[in-house]
Structure 1
Amino acid sequence: MAAEYKFGTAERLMRYVRIDTQSDPESTTTPSTEKQKELSAMLVNELLAMGITDAQMDVYGYVYATIPSNTDKKVPVICFCSHVDTAPDCSGAHVKPILHRNYNGNDIVLPDDATQIISTAKYPYLQQHIGGDIITASGTTLLGADDKAGVAIIMSLANYLQQHPEIKHGTIKLLFTPDEEVGRGTDKADLKKLGADVAYTLDGGELGTLEDETFSADGVKIVVHGVIAHPGYAKGILVNALKIAAEIIEALPKHEWSPETTEKREGFVHPVAVNGIAEKATIEFIVRDFTTERLQQHEERLKAIAEKIVQKYPACSMEFIVKEQYRNMKLILDQHPQIVANAVEAYKRCGLTVVKEPIRGGTDGSRLSYMGLPCPNLFTGMQAIHSKHEWIAVNDMEQSATMLVELVQVWEEKANH
């Protein structure tokens, strides 16, 4: 029945993306931007209107809600999670979503900036959606399908289950988080309050993809301490920390070990920021690999490169600071194989070919898994995320919602009385 049902995911998405929820990596508050709460408050109101009586937003902008069990079986409590914020990489203000009905395969020229063209040559996945409906932004902003598509899909599931009590399921928890795009999506998540046993994030891409593996990730800071002197009288005294920092970056490999030279299961070390003055300079790196043990190898290699440069300047010194960011969720999910197996079953019931692929990044699911809530990532359809070319096929969102209806039934069917 759900396969023929029109969930209204497109209408929800187009409503949600009009609210600017861009997060801010420089902010120290939670949420990092107050405007994220505008969407969170809207979601609470919509959930209450559906009849979900405990929907609420906490002081940090997290939304919690429960769809009560309607079965006598003891079913593990499932949480579905998406994030409300959009990425700082591209403007999320005054988004004007456009629904392109019956896409004909031609280039899509975005009306507010004719230089922004979405084509099948650049995005071959578009070819699979000829004849279907596509949603884009207007050319000056991102769309925000990352991850308001996930939000729309979960909200559509909630509405469907409220309207179809004949669908048997256990207790379902909904969680909408702020600040995922700045790496703080689970910082203030109250898992005791949530009360879930397992979780799924709806933050994936192409139809049929199922992601149970992420990078493991560390952050590294190299702090170079130079020697300062008045530049007019600095001969033989001044050691410029900025120049040493530049030497360290220049010494990094040019044809390997970086995001621009790696793919698939290859890790990398990536300088993301340089700050400082002549006396003291800091280089910030992100370090990524699917094998957690290899992070230390990457860090030792980076440290050796930096030390070799710094040693040329006896009067200066350096600090090498490593901070854990997140870990590959597969290590946790492999201990709970039923979570992924049930998702695979739901995909197959919808006629979908399951495409398992590692995420060259992280999700809220990475952190939730290590916080005690095992959490793979399911598809929404979002494409070209964090850019003005961001687009999504309505059919992918609808199929994701259909799959979630199957997923809650799989969990109920496999549970014991």
Structure 2
Amino acid sequence: MTKVHERFLKYVAFDTESDPESETCPSTEKQLNLANYLIAEMKAIGIEGVELDENGYVYGYISGNAPGPKLAFIAHMDTSPDMSGADVKAKIVEKYDGGEIVLNESLQIKMSPKEFEHLEHYIGNDLIVTDGTTLLGADNKAGIAEILTMAEYLITHPDIKHSEIKIAFTPDEEVGRGANLFNLEKLNADFGYTVDGGELGEVEYENFNAATAKIKIHGTNIHPGSAKGKMKNAILIGMELHAMLPTFDNPAYTEAYEGFNHLNDINGSVELTSMLYIIRDHDMTKFEAKKKIFKEIETFLNAKYGNGTVEIEIVDSYYNMKEKILPYFHLIENAIQAMENLEIKPIVVPVRGGTDGARLSYMGLPCPNVCTGGHNFHGKFEYIPVQSMEKTVDILVEIVKLYVGK
């Protein structure tokens, strides 16, 4: 059997960064390179019905050998556009000693438990890290590796009783479109789990309500020598707009159930400035209030600088899956029981982000989220312990066992 971390290291070699500006699906053609690799691997493992559809979604299944609901395990192939996922140079820090990790000596990029306290939990573990110039891609290639390692284990151990297991890998989750063209009829599952969480033991059935605010500010560029009474500086209006938002509704000041407005991108000139915010809150009332503030600011600035100066388009991305999971709370109870059976401490936390599972839950497939074992996603300090990946595979196998005869 292929070891889970060996699979993972092969997958991170594929650049699968998605593109929020693209209107195609997948949003980047390069995601299909990994998809085709996975298709070949899945067939070699013995997974049945393996298919890559016209939109870049990968499907397959394992026939059951016992009665029970059809369980789906889902992960996404793309990586975040927040940082490059090209030419990832992953390396393993064997038997981590608890000290500072030098990711890149020439650039003096280091990772320390002084900044990332959770490193102290993994003394003696083997940590997969970056070279400090890219993200790693554990979000969510670790989930893919764990699902396929589980699949190979079940296929090579026919004595393990399980119902029919469905597998799906999606494109474009990181740009909020991972479930847009997901074919639930083709998947044909009763329940699902996304394997897209963080540290070992995480179980998540609450996530942010999410929206994107796309802002365009139209200015008037005049030579500064003769600009009095004529220039309208779109950059400065953008700065004014940002200053009007609540200061502490910012991810740098929030945790747990606290929401935020996050300025994710700004690009501008005096003539035209574009801004992109993501708006997040677990509470729907607070979520709607955050969106309302943006529209009130738009009205105020247009009254001040002239109609059409500020254009704000707000598009909802996904909603909190809690209300869709509560009627099927056995999904959470069984995930917790699986961890307890393996003497892994369950950590039930809200997702401070999104997941395909939220969209899929609203589409009719109740689909909470379980851990991958990774930390510090979307950046150069991303890492994942090999041992956490191995234990996540054990969790998935144990979940499968718990549904036999249910």
Partner secondary structure for residue 412 of structure 1: coil
Correspondence for 1:26 among 17, 21, 24: 21
- Shift of the 317–144 alpha-carbon distance from structure 1 to 2, 3 Å rule, reads closer
In terms of mean alpha carbon deviation, does 221-230 or 121-130 score higher?
221-230
- The amino acid across from 1:204 in the alignment is G
In terms of mean alpha carbon deviation, does 272-281 or 92-101 score higher?
272-281
Matches of 1:133 and 1:392, distance apart in 2: 9
Q: CA deviation at 1:15?
A: 1.5
Match of 2:399 in 1: 407
- The amino acid across from 1:22 in the alignment is E
Deviations 1:344-403 (A, max 9, x none): 111111112211111111011111111111111111111121222221111111111011
Q: CA deviation at 1:260?
A: 2.1
Match of 2:53 in 1: 58
Correspondence 1:76 to 2:83: no
Match of 1:88 in 2: 81
Match of 2:302 in 1: 310
- Shift of the 268–111 alpha-carbon distance from structure 1 to 2, 3 Å rule, reads closer
What are the residue-to-residue correspondences of 1:351-370 with 2, within 5 Å? Answer: 351-370=343-362
The answer to whether the 8 Å contact 2:200/2:374 transfers is no
- Shift of the 139–299 alpha-carbon distance from structure 1 to 2, 3 Å rule, reads closer
Match of 1:115 in 2: 108
Correspondence for 1:199 among 181, 192, 208: 192
TM-score by length of 2: 0.92
Matches of 1:198 and 1:217, distance apart in 2: 23
Identity across the alignment (%): 43
Match of 1:128 in 2: 121
Q: CA deviation at 1:316?
A: 5.6
- Shift of the 242–96 alpha-carbon distance from structure 1 to 2, 3 Å rule, reads closer
Match of 1:105 in 2: 98
Matches of 2:108 and 2:228, distance apart in 1: 52
TM-score by length of 1: 0.89
- Shift of the 320–137 alpha-carbon distance from structure 1 to 2, 3 Å rule, reads closer
Correspondence for 1:286 among 272, 275, 278: 278
Q: CA deviation at 1:123?
A: 2.3
Matches of 1:271 and 1:147, distance apart in 2: 23
Match of 1:346 in 2: 338
- Shift of the 92–101 alpha-carbon distance from structure 1 to 2, 3 Å rule, reads same
Match of 2:372 in 1: 380
- The amino acid across from 1:8 in the alignment is K
Q: CA deviation at 1:213?
A: 0.8
Q: CA deviation at 1:113?
A: 4.2
Structure 2, unaligned runs of 5 or more: none
Q: CA deviation at 1:81?
A: 0.6
Correspondence for 2:390 among 363, 377, 398: 398
Q: CA deviation at 1:7?
A: 6.6
- The amino acid across from 2:331 in the alignment is I
Q: CA deviation at 1:306?
A: 3.7
Q: CA deviation at 1:94?
A: 2.0
Match of 1:3 in 2: none
Partner secondary structure for residue 55 of structure 1: strand
Matches of 2:380 and 2:250, distance apart in 1: 25
Partner secondary structure for residue 151 of structure 1: helix
- Shift of the 248–399 alpha-carbon distance from structure 1 to 2, 3 Å rule, reads same
- Shift of the 174–32 alpha-carbon distance from structure 1 to 2, 3 Å rule, reads same
Correspondence for 1:143 among 114, 117, 136: 136
- Shift of the 354–312 alpha-carbon distance from structure 1 to 2, 3 Å rule, reads same
Deviations 1:74-103 (A, max 9, x none): x22111011111222222222222222222
Over aligned residues, Cα RMSD in angstroms? Answer: 2.4
Partner secondary structure for residue 189 of structure 1: coil
Structure 1, unaligned runs of 5 or more: 1-5
- The amino acid across from 1:54 in the alignment is G
